[in-house]
Structure formats: C-alpha cells, structure tokens
Structure 1
C-alpha cells in the first residue's frame, strides 16, 4: 500500500484564483473526515474547500459548492491514478473573479492534487498484526534472542512490574510457531492489525 509520509501543501494561481492543496496521511474514514472538517472550518473564508479521500475502509469526495463532478471527483481520480491509499486531499479555492468553466475547474483541481503529490514523499505501507509479550525480567535475554532469530520487529519496550514488548508480524507470518518457542517464558496477546511503514 502506497501513501505519503506526512502533510504537504502547495499553492497554484490559475486565472487569478488561488488553489491551495493540502494532502494528509489518514488511517481511516473517521480521521479523514476529521481532517476535512478541521480544514474547512479553519479556512471557511475561502470560496470552496473541496476534498477527496481514500482510506482502507472507505473513499469519498465533496465538491463543496463547485458544479457537480468538477472538483472532488477529479481529485479522487488523481489519488487513484497514483495508487495512493490512506490519504486525504483538500483544495481550498479563493475565487479571483475569472470563471474557469467546467473543463477548467476539472483541470485546476486535478492539477492541484497532482502537484501536491509530486512534492511529497511516497512510502510503502504493509499490514502487520501487533502483539504484546509479557514476561519476567529473568527472560529478557532469551526472548530477545528468539525475536531476533524469528526476524520479528520490536515496536516498543516497557519495563514495569513485568517486561512488555510490543511486536509486529506481517499478517501472513505464523505467530503460532513463535508462541511455541517462548511459551514457557512469556505470554503473547494479540492487540490489533494495522498498516505500518514497511519494516525490515
């Protein structure tokens, strides 16, 4: 899965109108909609705040008052053409007094998103299952050795009453084999599945 590493912003001037495109990484539709609402509220003085998003659980677009199909849909098409997921694009337009016509709007909104993508860093994301391992301090060395030999990624280490490691395995890797190796030494709990920047 391809997405962007952080937020980006570009500004284009087309026939005296300002088109400000902001693109954001977002993990799901809830986060995507929160970003859109936040930007729309922040720049409510703009003529339009048009948006498009693609996330793992949904996709959508909004023309925000522009003629139907001239803003949000072309923006979404650019995201799809670049094979991006977990991304939100918002184009804030300040009208400059010259009407662009339907074709001109489609080109302007599409170009705004394309230029923002060109300025961004694309990263590969993969789906991982996240687990926690709880164990006694006396087992740190042997568990770390098993993790290393099993080529498992450690995301986080916590040292409290017991040791707690958060680990990530690709979804098609077999946790049972690893569980078998450490069953006398620690307890493994499944936490969630999520997309992470490609590990290893």
Structure 2
C-alpha cells in the first residue's frame, strides 16, 4: 500500500485560472474532513475548494460548486490510478475569467493532482496491530527482554504509577501469546490498528 510521506503543494495556471493542489497523508475520514475544513477556511476567498480522499475507513470527493463530475471525481480517479491510500487532495481554484468547459475542468483538476503527486515522496505502508503492555516497575527488564527477543517495536513509553509500553509486531505475531507465561504480571491488550512505513 502506498501513501505520501509528508504534505506537498503545487500550483498550476490554466487560461488565467489558478489551481493550487494540496496533498496530505491522512489515515481516517475524520482526519481528511478536518484538513478539508481547515483549507476551506484558509482559502475562503477561493472560487472553489474541490476535494478527494481515500482513507482506511472510506473515501469521498466533492465538486464544491463546479459542474458535476468535473472536479472531485477526476481527482479521486488520479489517486486510485496511482494506487495511493491514506491521502487527502484539495484543489483550490481562483477563477481567471475564462470558462474552461467540462473537458477543460476535468483536465485541469486531474493535472493539478498529478503534478502534486509528481512532487511528493511516495512511501510503502503496511497495517499493523498496536498492543499496550502494562506492568510494575519491577518487571521493566523482563518486558524489555521480551520486546527485544521477539523483534517488537516500541512506539511509546509512559511511566506513572505503572509502566505502559505501546508495541507493534512487524511480522504480525500474536503479541498476547508472548506474554502469557508471565501470568498477569505483564498485562497485554490490543489497542488499535496503525499504518506505518514499510522498512
């Protein structure tokens, strides 16, 4: 699965209309909608802010007042054609006074997204399960040893009344089974799914 490593923005001009394409790596529909809302505010003076996103929990697009099928759909088609996931595209248009017609709009919105993808750093991502380990301070050495020996990756550590690690397994082995032998001394619970860059 592919996405972009970091946000990118590209500007093109077509018959005096300005098209600004902003691409963002996003995991969920909620994240996509938050970014779209933010850009709508940032470019509130624009003629249109057309959008397309493909997230882990769904996808969508919006023509934002352009003739139906001339903006959002061509944008999402470019994302699909490039096999990109976990991505949000917003194309902001400032109308330059010359109408482009339906075909011209489709080409302009498609080209805008293609140019931005061309500037972006594409990375391979994979879905992993995140687990939380909770244990007493006296078990830190044991937990560290098992994490190391089983090639688990620690992505977060918290120290309060107890110690809490967030770990992932890149080969998707059953993390709960690894710690079964400690009969409750190290409590393991599934937390969520995350997309991380493939190494």
- Same-fold call, TM > 0.5? yes
RMSD: 1.7
* Matched pairs, number: 199
Are positions 1:154 and 2:154 aligned together?
Answer: yes
Q: Runs in 1 of length 4+ with deviation above 3 angstroms?
A: 181-185
Determine helix, strand or coil for the equivalent of 1:27. coil
1:12–1:20 contact (8 Å) kept in structure 2: yes
**Alpha-carbon separation, structure 1, partners of 2:162 and 2:87:** 38
Normalized against structure 2, the TM-score is what?
A: 0.92
Q: Which runs of 5+ in 2 are unaligned?
A: none
**Alpha-carbon separation, structure 2, partners of 1:174 and 1:22:** 39
1:83-122 residue pairs with structure 2 within 5 A?
83-122=83-122
**1:106-137 deviation digits (Å, cap 9, x = unpaired):** 11100100111111111222211111112222
1:143–1:182 contact (8 Å) kept in structure 2: no
| Segment drifting more, 98-107 vs 83-92 | 98-107
1:129–1:169 contact (8 Å) kept in structure 2: yes
Normalized against structure 1, the TM-score is what?
A: 0.92
Equivalent residue number for residue 36 of structure 2: 36
Shift of 1:103: 1.3
1:146–1:181 contact (8 Å) kept in structure 2: no
1:127–1:171 contact (8 Å) kept in structure 2: no
Equivalent residue number for residue 143 of structure 2: 143
Q: Which runs of 5+ in 1 are unaligned?
A: none
Equivalent residue number for residue 174 of structure 1: 174
| Segment drifting more, 41-50 vs 83-92 | 41-50
Equivalent residue number for residue 15 of structure 1: 15
Determine helix, strand or coil for the equivalent of 2:151. coil
